[in-house]
Structure 1
Amino acid sequence: MKRTIIKIDEDLCDGCGICVEGCHEGALQLIDGKAVMVSDLYCDGLGACIPDCPQGAISLEEREAEPYNEEAVMERVVPKGEKVILAHLTHLRNHGELGFMQQGIDYLKKHNIRVDLSSLQKAVPQQAQQAPQAQQPYVFQPASVMPPQFPVQLHLINPMNPVFSGAHLLLAADCSAFVTPDFHQRFLKDKVLAIACPKLDRNLDTYVAKLIALIDTSGIETLTVVQMVVPCCSGLMKLVSMAREKAKRYIPVKKIVLNLQGGVQTEEWIQ
């Protein structure tokens, strides 16, 4: 499958080994004085190693690669001790890969490996003292319905994230949430989210490949497309149609078209 994974420029790499030490998943090794990714299985594609490289030799690319395997990673991480285990799980948490983090925790429980996981619980900041109304007229109110995963951009999501398994997927045009004040409550309830723009985004073949993986491998149950009435948005439904034609499984697809005021212009199930 196509997914995001790291790429190392051998000409820029000076073999310092900083990235190898920082990759708790064990995807990188020094071979003949150069950093080398030894297996796609161990690379989560989140790019935590990129800022570690003083030469700028590491970048991200979309290419065919084996799916990331958290159990295989844990087999390599556990012998390195508790600090490395916690660093790895914290890394997943901080990048929103909560499904993979839970798989890692389940691995520890399955193999009766005792690790203090209390640090994984994010501290909730104490509420700041209320400022005078004249100084702070706006009070943030979080949405009552939030996507269960991050990132949400279709280029960046990992179809193998367990959060997508058996889920109902909402694929929304980038603009749609900005013209619909109650977007979260109206469309996102009980769904996972991906967003895309068929006009401005590049490498649309990657979108089709990811949608196929979501259908066939993750087994999403339904796919709802929310797009704007403008012509450029029609490409979003074309991508879904291409993926559904190539996928081995059949899933119901609903198409919702919004007008420029954020109201629903049409809503229909696509056969």
Structure 2
Amino acid sequence: MIRKIIEINEEKCNGCGLCAEACHEGAIEMVDGKARLMRDDYCDGLGDCLPVCPANAISFVERKAAAYDADAVKKHQEEKTDGQLRQWPVQIRLAPVTAPYFEDAKLLIAADCTAYAYANFHKDFMRGKITLVGCPKLDAVDYAEKLTEILTHNHFQSVTVARMEVPCCGGLEQAVKTALINSKKMIPWQVVTFTTDGKILDV
């Protein structure tokens, strides 16, 4: 059938992975550092991925494509609800400075409480990422130095900071900002803030 579907320009794609995160159906995956539409029947043609792409690498086209298969998408999403932890250790203080799993990865730096506050944290935030966790209040340590070393000695596609709305989590966000500056690397990054009742705070 002929229908509206997304098209990804791999030459423009900067590999940030934001489109893959925005695609709730799982139609987009990162392959060799580039976003790729993996299955036409997973793409609903609504384009949630378009507004998050900083490189304007995604557009709509009309072409012959398999019909959107809601049942297949639902099954795929159910399969993705398993634990998404991809490495060990996860604590920032215990993590090595260099490791094979860091190379070309999307990095999630999360406050300890976020995974307890937000029910779908594994599926919505940890999937496809390397996860590091910490709590600046409980550890009573500035993570900036350790994170600077990790960012300096490895290549990351993107960095996502997951924090709670409470003031103590500001220390984690500030440590990541400092580390990004000190590493002198231009890495796409974002901060996601959760409320204490498990909602994502609009900023």
User: TM-score with structure 1 length normalisation?
Assistant: 0.44
CA distance in 2, matches of 1:245, 1:251: 10
Name the structure where strand makes up a greater proportion of residues.
2
Question: Which residue of 201, 206, 219 maps to 2:139?
Answer: 201
Contact 2:114 2:164 in 1 (8 A): yes
Contact 1:148 1:192 in 2 (8 A): yes
Residue 89 of structure 2 corresponds to residue 151 of structure 1: yes
Higher relative contact order (CA 8 A, sep 6+): 2
Contact 1:214 1:220 in 2 (8 A): no
Q: Percent identity?
A: 34
Provide closer, same or farther for how the CA distance between residues 152 and 143 of structure 1 changes in structure 2, counting only shifts above 3 A.
farther
Shift of 1:249: 1.3
Deviations 1:28-73 (A, max 9, x none): xxxxxxxxxxxxxxxxxxxxxxxxxxxxxxxxxxxxxxxxxxxxxx
Deviations 1:114-172 (A, max 9, x none): xxxxxxxxxxxxxxxxxxxxxxxxxxxx9514211011000001121110111101011
- Contiguous gaps of at least 5 residues in structure 2: 1-79
The equivalent residue for 2:194 is 258
Aligned residue pairs total 125
Runs of 4+ residues deviating >2 angstroms = none
Residue 153 of structure 2 corresponds to residue 191 of structure 1: no
- Contiguous gaps of at least 5 residues in structure 1: 1-141
CA distance in 2, matches of 1:187, 1:250: 22
The equivalent residue for 2:178 is 242
Contact 1:212 1:243 in 2 (8 A): yes
CA distance in 1, matches of 2:129, 2:202: 20
Shift of 1:234: 1.0
CA distance in 1, matches of 2:100, 2:146: 14
CA RMSD after TM alignment: 1.9
Contact 1:215 1:251 in 2 (8 A): no
The equivalent residue for 1:222 is 158
Contact 1:162 1:218 in 2 (8 A): no
Q: For 1:90-169, list aligned pairs within 5 A.
A: 144-169=82-107
Instruction: Work out which of the two has the higher radius of gyration on C-alpha atoms and give 1 or 2.
Output: 1
CA distance in 1, matches of 2:88, 2:202: 29
The equivalent residue for 1:75 is none
The equivalent residue for 2:146 is 210
CA distance in 1, matches of 2:170, 2:90: 20
The equivalent residue for 2:52 is none
Contact 2:108 2:132 in 1 (8 A): yes
CA distance in 2, matches of 1:196, 1:203: 10
